[in-house]
Structure 1
Amino acid sequence: MDRRSFIRKGALGGAAAAAASVATPALAEDLPEITWRLTSSFPKSLDTIYGAAETMASYVSAMTGGKFKIQVFAAGEIVPGLQAADAVANGTVEACHTASYYYWGKDATYALGTAVPFGLNARQQNGWYYYGGGNDLLNEFYNTQGLHGLPCGNTGAQMGGWFRKEINTVEDLKGVKMRIGGFGGKVMEKLGVVPQQIAGGDIYPSLEKGTIDATEWVGPYDDEKLGFYKVAPYYYYPGWWEGGATLHAFFNKDKFAALPEAYQVALAAACQAANSDMLAAYDYKNPGALKTLMANGAQLRPFSPEVLQACYNASQEVYAEITASNAAFKKIYESQLAYKRDAYVWAQLSEYNFDTFMMIQQRSGTL
């Protein structure tokens, strides 16, 4: 079944069905032919995270009968990866696909759009975005930056990164130069780490040359492609700063507002479809990649309870500092926090107990 037929039959669920119901009659009204450019923050070699933008663009084209096309460009083809949102805000391009927290240096509120330390997991992110008012809250902020944002991908819980040396105590973190994005770097800095923000395609050379001592990226599938295990064998978990990292499609606010309603709805449906698709892809691809990494010499290590607790305590200090001076951050963070408290009560009864039992079966070889 081709993708256009798939969408017309409503197989994407409510969002796509809504898009189809709006877009199909409207096309008869001679809606304009529009071509937008989208710059990604990611290289084409990272097919899953880069591919979410292409998935979104293909759905938009199919739902609009080819009248609304989005051309996707890899990081560096138009602007460097870490300048993608800036290029959208200033009108260089109409759209980008990026991680909101890459821009947290401009305003800490950006970090809440992707993931923050000890924050929401992937399912909670989606619950908060789509039903807890999260998307509207964030767009109140994004609109002040000249942007309109829609979730467009989630990696799931990430790994804690690759290190040249073992990290057994908090003392071992001191002086470590680590590529770590967003809010996590600020927390690590309190423990003596020297955070570096480096785009995906530049991480391996920096690690190989010793410019950095450690890096985090996503998880086994992407990490294997980037080859980090060759120069930094210790693979730590969990990535407590990214329990469910959401990617965003950002659109120039004025250009999004000027679109016909049918095109706006098509974008929303396509982004929601790509959001679901990316998480499913990583859930399927990561297990096999982890086996390969271990066969190639990667050494799995858990962050010790001492290290995790120190990181958690440091994160609470950072939250207190930022909420005291940033009203936009405080409003959104408190919304996430209120939901998280209740969500973990439910998760303990449902997912946690079920998954724990099944993990016991896996370890005992009865699956």
Structure 2
Amino acid sequence: MNVRTLFATLFGLLFLSSATLTYAADDLESRRNAKLEATVMNPNLPLEKRIRALKKLQKDEMVNGRILRTFCVWDPLGKTGPISSTVEDQKLRSLHYGMDLSVITYQDESELVEALRSGEECDAALIRGVAAMEFNRFAGTIESVGGLQSRQQVQLLMQVIANPRMAQRLGDDDYVVLGLATLGSSYRYSADRKNRSLASFKDKKIATESFDPGMARLTEAFGADAVVGDMMSNVQKYADNEVAGMMSPIVAYLVMGSGQISGDVSIIDTPVAQSTIQLIGRTEKFPPGLAQILREDFLFKFDNYARRVDNEMALVPESFWAKDSAQDIAALEKHSLDVRLKLREEGYYDPAMLRLQRKIRCKFDPSRSECTNPKE
């Protein structure tokens, strides 16, 4: 073998060894990261161990040992409102997970949704479920009309969602659901407590929100005329008696303020949907492990968030509530089912979430006809 051949052979062996070592190092790093990811995603392990694994996975994202993220929050009452105040409290808790949060409050929910889309300011946005629909249909369908009937049902659903096996339904390449909490129920509001039956709403103008076609369809199902707008404009129309009623979450009462409420108006006490507040993040900012821990934290704090809602609902005077009739309750449930089925067929409501909601309703009341003859 001449010198040139020997040199070529040695160079080839060196190149092969280098490539093999590089491949082995990459493979080792990949296996190490997979093990860390499995640790973070395992809710049966101690939280501290999972957080240590998370910090190792996110080490390249950290600044001075913290993951810097910006949460944008919708609160119709501004920085001093109940939703914004809750997130400010969450900042301290997030430090435990290695996150350093900046919080920006929006009073205009549409503006916040646009800010999340652009990604220029908000890594995640805390918005209502109806507004979150465009980012995750599965989670947005939680607010389907009549889908869930009580806070207890929402809490059970949150337990299901917080299971790591549900992660694939809660995110895509662009957005991921990071958690949800109750925002109370949505109700029918009447401008005249003497005319509060479904029949009395026929051919009347009822304000519904542009974010929520389900409410508009339900309004039309009992013969009323849905006047679509955002929450603030709807509240103003209702307070000014420009509409005969309104379909809205209980938070609309807080937006109105007692000075805008006359003695004739009322809230009919049958919930038409469950209102939620959902944290939607940009996927590149919240990898699976971090997203999973945040969802579990929302579940852990569910009762705490619910108590805050109760404190706000306590501001609604007893005299403002009106009792619903058994006949209207039954009619409302039938109309709600029809609307859910139609919006499922049109591709708006998510079929998997509707099935899950039906199972939850049946767990609370197995005697329901839908438990043996399901349509969802």
TM-score by length of 2: 0.68
Moved more, 302-311 or 244-253: 302-311
Distance 1:110 1:149, change over 3 A: closer
Match of 1:351 in 2: none
In the TM superposition, what is the alpha-carbon distance from 1:154 to its structure 2 partner? 0.7
Which of 173, 180, 187 is matched with 1:152 structurally? 180
State the SS of the aligned residue for 1:278.
Answer: helix
The partner residue of 2:284 within 225, 230, 254 is 254
Report Cα offsets for 1:277-299 as digits up to 9, x if no partner: 21022234534x24xx24xxx44
The percent identity for this pair of structures is 8
| Equivalent-residue separation in structure 2 for 1:265 and 1:320 (angstroms) | 31
Q: 1:169 to 1:284 in 2, by over 3 A?
A: closer
Show the counterpart of 2:109.
81
Give distance in 2, aligned partners of 1:325 and 1:211: 32
SS of alignment partner, residue 123 of structure 1? helix
Paired residue type of 1:100: G
| Residue 230 (str. 1) matches residue 257 (str. 2) | no
1:170 aligns with 2:198: yes
Aligned mates of 1:328, 1:285 — CA distance in 2: 30
Per-residue CA deviation, residues 28-78 of structure 1 (Å, 9 max, x unaligned), is 8956024322222223457323333333333212432xxx222222224xx
Change (3 A) 1:209 1:308: same
Structure-1 separation of matches of 2:272 and 2:340: 13
Counterpart check, 1:47 vs 2:78: no
In structure 2, give the amino acid aligned to 1:147: Y
Name the CA shift for 1:341/1:53 in 2 (closer, same or farther; >3 Å). same
1:179 aligns with 2:220: no
Q: Which runs of 5+ in 2 are unaligned?
A: 1-41, 369-376
| Offset of residue 15 of structure 1 | 7.2
> Aligned-pair distance for 1:138?
8.2
- Segments of structure 1 that go 5 or more residues without pairing to the other structure are 1-13, 348-367
CA distance in 2, matches of 1:59, 1:100: 23
TM-score w.r.t. length of structure 1: 0.70
Query: Take 1:264 and 1:171, find their aligned partners in 2: how far apart are those partners?
Result: 46
Aligned equivalent of 2:305: 278
Q: CA deviation at 1:179?
A: 3.4
Contact 1:15 1:268 in 2 (8 A): no
Which residue of structure 2 lines up, in the alignment, with residue 308 of structure 1?
329
- Taking a change above 3 Å as real, the CA distance of residues 56 and 239 of structure 1, as seen in their structure-2 partners, is farther
2:93 is aligned with 1:59: yes
Instruction: Please name the residue that 2:341 is paired with.
Output: 320
Q: Which residue of 2 aligns with 1:9?
A: none
Distance 1:177 1:105, change over 3 A: farther
Residue 123 of structure 1: CA displacement?
1.8
Equivalent residues, number? 316
What pairs up with 1:178-257 in 2 under 5 angstroms?
A: 178-180=207-209, 182=212, 183-196=214-227, 198-219=229-250, 223-224=253-254, 226-227=256-257, 230-231=261-262, 233-242=264-273, 244-257=274-287
Structure 1: distance between partners of 2:310 and 2:45: 25
| Preserved CA contact (<8 Å) 1:89 1:253 | no
Q: What is the rounded CA distance, in whole Å, between the counterparts of 1:138 and 1:166 in structure 2?
A: 48
Q: Give the CA deviation at 1:120.
A: 4.2
